[in-house]
């Protein structure tokens, strides 16, 4: 089983819109950018919650600056509102209990910087 998160950055620039894969040019993005993520489980789109926050948003644990859900294709859009270190988090649970565990919880976290 594999939980994957693919992320692209969508920039609003004067006469063009660029998309960068998650492994390129994070520093090029800026506040007011939109992050488009594709959430897959075992290679198939996953319907799940997507949480995002930035460093310094709050000192309260498990509190996020942004919440959204994926669409039928496993795509979610998160609007970046603040510069700094950001984190996207997704989770998927399989509730098939065995003698060793009650459920299988998988999490993917993606951390990146916004200038």
Domain ranges of the chain: 3-114
Partners of 39 in beta bridges: 5
Residue 100 pLDDT: 85
pLDDT confidence band for 9 (50 / 70 / 90): very low
- pLDDT for 64 beyond 90: yes
Residue 58 pLDDT: 93
Looking at CATH, the fold of the domain delimited by 3-114 is given as Immunoglobulin-like (2.60.40)
63 φ, ψ to 5°? -120, 130
Partners of 43 in beta bridges: none
Residue 4 pLDDT: 56
The average confidence (pLDDT) of the chain is 77
């Amino acid at each position: 089983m594999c939980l994957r998160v693919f992320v692209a950055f969508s920039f609003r620039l004067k006469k063009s819109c660029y998309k960068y894969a998650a492994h390129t040019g994070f520093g090029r993005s800026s506040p007011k950018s939109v992050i488009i993520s594709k959430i897959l489980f075992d290679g198939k789109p996953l319907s799940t919650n997507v949480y995002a926050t930035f460093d310094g948003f709050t000192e309260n644990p498990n509190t996020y600056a942004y919440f959204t859900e994926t669409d039928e294709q496993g795509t979610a859009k998160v609007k970046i509102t603040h510069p700094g270190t950001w984190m996207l988090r997704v989770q998927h649970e399989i509730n098939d209990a065995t003698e060793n565990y009650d459920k299988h919880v998988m999490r993917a976290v993606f951390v990146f910087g916004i200038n």
